[in-house]
Amino acid sequence: MDPSEHLFRRESGRLVAALTRVFGVHNLALAEDVVQHAFCRAMEVWKFRGVPENPSAWLMATAKNRALDVLRRQHAARSFAPELGRLLDSEWTLAPAVEELLAPNALKDNLLRMMFSCCHPALAQESQVALILNILCGFSVSEVGSAFVSGHAAIEKRIQRAKKVLAQSKHLFDVALPSDFSARLPAVHRALYLLFNEGYHGASAAHAVRIELCREAIRLVTILLEHPAGTTSKSYALSALMHLNAARLPARVDGAGNLITLFHQDRSLWNRELMLEGFRFLELSATGHEVTEYHIEAAIAAAHSTALRAEDTDWKVIVALYDTLMQIHPSPVVALNRAIAVAQDQGPARGIAEIEAIEDRDRLADYPFYPAALGELELRRGQRDLARDHFQAARSLARNPMERRFLDQRIGACSK
């Protein structure tokens, strides 16, 4: 039997989350060691004897045995989870207590605790996302580094610092306290949103890596939605926007690894199943009176989804949605996207005027799609030389070969 794709990576998150409950969050590194050990054992045994019927259970059992071993041997020297307390003193109480914390029905709760713990207020948002990728999604530090493009050393330091903060927080986040839960929920939403965006718009060169990041974000938001306190209108909206955007991923890159813009995508490649899921979540999100940026972004994605051809897109609706988004969650990137929608509705000249009116557009100085958007609009109104200059500026900002190839092609289009 061949273990399912990414089994080890997925199990890593589950096991570390579960073992941290047993060992205490200050012993995060110990939990990671025990998990690494279980994987080594699995590798050794499975390659000779084949993969067991239930690989997840095998890994959990191996990790549990090792954990019990560590608890027995080190309970005088180390302190473990405060919940375990005196249960550790006797074999009668130790084994059942550990059994309970590692039971399959505690799994989602464990993951959720870790998810909330990673979104510690003392951590910068990027650190929260890096921590989630490392601990919950089982990406190694260098894999996280390659997803984020920033140097390996920078990511390694960031993750180490973040882990120190987490370890010093003494307790894992308690998801059973409703007021704490709802207080931290926005930070969790934000981290999952950033995780998804890193996959969707991020700079990693490998398309496969980016799809994985989007999948992970969807997996985690789904876990959030399985907890009663997590089923808020905002969580549904976040899930809707992820599903609706992820549905377009198969059309976003062609067979040769080239980026395809929304206008030129083969829409028959859009994933109907994800789209329907997205619409279902969008409907579920339409309760209460809170309209968040996630609601609006999901609605924008939905507006694109309903257009069978690019020219069928209802740009007036999309501009109106961007107007709302600018009110509740303004940012230069949102303003840029709004300007592009305006250009679609009212022509390139209006679009360029809108871009030039973006107040804090200096914050877009490193963003290749800012000059690229100007280039596209100049090209559309026939200013080839201006367009070429913009595309060349964009190319010098490109973050990976895929973006460079795309911009080379646009530079070429200026000479035709």
Binding site for another protein (CB under 8 A): 2-3, 6-9, 11-12, 36, 39-40, 42-51, 138-140, 142-143
Q: Which is nearer to another protein, 37 or 404 (CB)?
A: 37
Considering the complex, state which of residue 10 and residue 381 has its C-beta at the smaller distance from another protein. 10
User: Closest distance between another protein and the C-beta of residue 61, in Å?
Assistant: 17
Task: Tell me the HSE value of 203 on the side-chain side, using a 13 A CA sphere.
Answer: 15
* Residue 64 CB partners (closer than 8 Å, separation 6+): 98, 99, 102
Minimum distance, C-beta of residue 30 to another protein, in the bound complex (Å): 16
Minimum CB separation of residue 13 from another protein in Å reads 9
Residue 38 CB, nearest distance to another protein (Å)?
10
Shortest separation between residue 265's beta carbon and another protein, angstroms: 29
Contacts for 29-36: CB closer than 8 Å, 24+ residues apart: 29/163, 29/167, 30/70, 34/63, 34/66, 34/67, 34/70, 35/63
- Can you list the pairs that 89-94 forms with residues at least 24 positions away whose Cβ atoms lie under 8 Å? 94/68
CB-CB contact of 101 with 113 (8 Å): no
Task: Give the SS3 label for residue 184.
Answer: helix
CB of 141 to another protein, least distance (A): 8
Q: Which is nearer to another protein, 50 or 186 (CB)?
A: 50
Q: How big is the CA angle at 171 (ends 75 and 24), to the nearest 5 degrees?
A: 30
Minimum separation from the CB atom of position 58 to another protein (A): 13
Sequence length of the chain is 416
Closer residue to another protein in complex, CB, 39/315: 39
What does the alpha-carbon distance between residue 110 and residue 108 come to, in Å, rounded to a whole number? 5
Residue among 16 and 218 whose Cβ is closer to another protein: 16
Cβ closer to another protein: 139 or 370? 139
Q: How far apart are CA 201 and CA 403, in angstroms?
A: 11
Which residues, in sequence order, are bridge partners of residue 253?
259
Q: Whose Cβ is closer to another protein: residue 138's or residue 278's?
A: 138
Residue 327, class by beta-carbon neighbours within 10 Å (0-12 exposed, 13-18 middle, 19+ buried)? exposed
Closest separation in Å from C-beta 140 to another protein: 3
139 or 270: whose CB is closer to another protein? 139
Handedness of CA 263, 267, 270, 275 (dihedral sign): positive
Within 10 A of 400 (CB to CB), how many other CB atoms are there? 16
| Nearest-angstrom CA–CA distance, 404 and 56 | 42
DSSP secondary structure code for residue 132 in this structure: I
Q: How far is the CB of 9 from another protein (least distance, A)?
A: 5
CA distance 38 to 64: 9
Instruction: Collect all residues with Cβ–Cβ distance below 8 Å to 141 and sequence separation of at least 6.
Output: 134, 152, 155, 156, 159
Query: Nearer to another protein by C-beta: 126 or 143?
Result: 143
Distance in Å, CB of 215 to another protein, minimum: 13
CA 387 – CA 53 distance, rounded (Å): 59
11 or 378, CB closer to another protein? Answer: 11
